[in-house]
Amino acid sequence: MSDRICVGAIAGAFGVRGEVRLKSFTAMPEDIAAYGALSTEDGARSFDVALTRPVTGGLGARLSGVETREQAEALKGTTLWALRAALPALPDDEFYHADLIGLEVYDPGGKLLGRVRAIYDHGAGDILEIAATPPLLLPFTREIVPTVDLGAGRIIADPPGSDE
């Protein structure tokens, strides 16, 4: 498991005084400012985040060291990462997406189905994309995915129609 988790991204500049539009990936969007300084994926830059207001498609924020619209616009697309230690502990049946990506997925009989490539949330619940031939999309529910073993690096999944 990584010592950092992606918690958001800069969607662009907002206003003319260096404010940015943040897209938060946290369960409560405002929590993005509660995890201390956030860094870029490569760790080259770090920002203190001060939320200013809700804006269309995200949150308005001031980032330390960003004073102009041009500086804010140059950061568009930059992901923001928090230290795992700053994030809250999760209940046993909840997981950070970053911990699931890359795990091997097996069916109940032990056959390898593939690896978790991505996780999507379109509002009705998470969907796991399994890198397989053909690619497999699985609802991330207890019925379909009864076992997640982070220690062993594997998931047991019972895809619909696999009993046939």
Which CATH number do you get for residue 105? 2.30.30.240
- In terms of residue numbers, what domain contains 30? 4-86
Instruction: For residues 110-124, give the mean pLDDT.
Output: 89
Q: Tell me the CATH number at 60.
A: 2.40.30.60
Compute the CA torsion angle 47, 22, 122, 130 (nearest 10 deg): -30
Residue 95: other Cβ atoms inside 10 A: 17
Q: Is the pTM of this model over 0.85?
A: no
The pLDDT of residue 162 is 64
Compute the CA torsion angle 29, 35, 41, 42 (nearest 10 deg): 160
For the cut 60, the answer to whether the pLDDT of residue 164 exceeds it is no
The pLDDT of residue 45 is 96
Summarize pLDDT for 145-160 with one digit per residue, the tens.
999 998 899 999 999 8
The pLDDT of residue 163 is 59
Domain annotation covers residue 128: yes
Domain annotation covers residue 30: yes
Buried b (16+ CB within 10 A) or exposed e, 18-36: bbbbbbbbbeebeebbebe
CA distance from start to end of the chain? 36
- Least confident segment among 40-49, 87-96, 135-144: 87-96
Distance CA 116, CA 143 (A): 17
The pLDDT of residue 15 is 87
Residues 125 and 146 in one domain: yes
For the cut 90, the answer to whether the pLDDT of residue 128 exceeds it is yes
What's the mean pLDDT when you consider all of the chain?
A: 91
Residues 81 and 112 in one domain: no
Residues 58 and 122 in one domain: no
The pLDDT of residue 1 is 52
Which of 42, 62, 86 is a domain's end point?
86
Structurally, the chain folds into a number of domains equal to 2
| 60, two tokens | 């308005």
Phi first, then psi: what are they for 30, rounded to 5°?
-65, -20
Residues 148 and 103 in one domain: yes
Instruction: For residues 107-121, give the mean pLDDT.
Output: 93
Q: How confident is the model at residue 89 (pLDDT cuts 50, 70, 90)?
A: confident
For the cut 60, the answer to whether the pLDDT of residue 140 exceeds it is yes
Summarize pLDDT for 46-78 with one digit per residue, the tens.
999 999 999 988 999 999 999 999 999 999 999
Which of 42, 59, 86 is a domain's end point?
86
